[in-house]
Amino acid sequence: MSPSLVVLTDFFAVSNRALSYAAGLAMPLHAHLVLLHVRHDGLLSPAEYASRHTPRGEQRTDHALLDLAARQPVPAEVDVSEQYLPDAVAEAVRRHEPLLLVLGRPGSATTPEEVVVSTAMDLLRHAPYPLLIVPTVGWDTFPPRRLLLAVDGQPFQLFPHHDVLRQLLRSTQGSIEVIHVTDDEHTPTSAGAILDSIRANDLVDPLPATALHNLYQPTIVGGVLQEAARLEGDMLVVIARRHSLLGSLFHRSITAQLLQESPIPVLLLPAED
């Protein structure tokens, strides 16, 4: 059976460029799509569509999802869940064993961007799995061939199922470069230590020293996004550490800020620490 990409989608697919993006990725990956709809979730089934939470409304929703799946350029199936979103995603991961999860930013025309970002962070806490966040605009280059890996320079250990990065690079014939930013609160890390941490996780084929961009900026987020723009990256890959996901103040998380501000898709690879 072909690998899958699980796409969290609303039944109207309002401005759902994430689904289009996932379908485009599925083609070179020779994968199929799973359209996951969580029926009573505020993001994928917002309050303004409450009339859909009736037997007749749910039947219309199911038909709309099946029609949406049938119109995709790759094979697609529908998975409708009555569970809470983290539980539904965890169950979808167990059942479909996808290469990655895909979530649009924002999910609907009326959903605040912060809700989508906080949803992504919540998913990583409860169902740590590669998660691709696709902005509504800003990804005109496709398929993504220039990937940028943002690291903090410290050792890390990824959860299983992280070979999606290698598969993406192979299927798109893409390249990858590494960004490490030092700010006023963090000391620089040597190039050797940074490359060793990447090699230890077998993320990609051996990287030359020239693939590492080590720089100083007043803020980590500003430095990463500035360098991503300079390098004309198509996708930003971020190691999502548990300590930043569990931070008491949401705005302190560098991961969350990158999700909210990045103009290009962000692939989050959760780390076990």
Of the three residues 135, 155, 174, the one that is the final residue of a domain is 135
What domain range includes position 124? 4-135
Q: Which residues contact 40 (CB under 8 A, 6 or more apart)?
A: 53, 82
Dihedral angle sign, alpha carbons of residues 28, 109, 258, 3:
negative
Task: Report how far apart the first and last C-alpha atoms of the chain are (Å, whole number).
Answer: 33
Examine residue 140 and state whether it is found in any structural domain, yes or no.
no
Q: Residue 153: what pLDDT? A: 83
Number of structural domains the chain divides into: 2
62 and 130 in a common domain: yes
pLDDT at 252: 52
Q: What is the pLDDT at residue 4?
A: 95
Identify whether 152 is part of a domain.
Answer: yes
Last residue of some domain: 135, 165, 185? 135
Spans of the chain, pLDDT less than 70: 10-15, 40-55, 57, 105-113, 137-141, 161-162, 242-252, 273
Per residue in 132-165, pLDDT (tens digit) is: 998 876 555 678 889 999 988 888 888 776 688 8
User: Do 98 and 180 sit in the same domain of this protein?
Assistant: no
pLDDT tens digits, one per residue of 5-48: 999 876 554 447 788 899 999 999 999 999 998 876 555 655 54
- Asked if residue 85 belongs to a domain, the reply is yes
Q: Based on the domain organization, do 111 and 219 belong to the same domain? A: no
**Structure confidence at residue 45 (pLDDT):** 54
Q: Establish if 141 belongs to a structural domain.
A: no
| Measured distance CA(194)–CA(67) in Å, rounded | 47
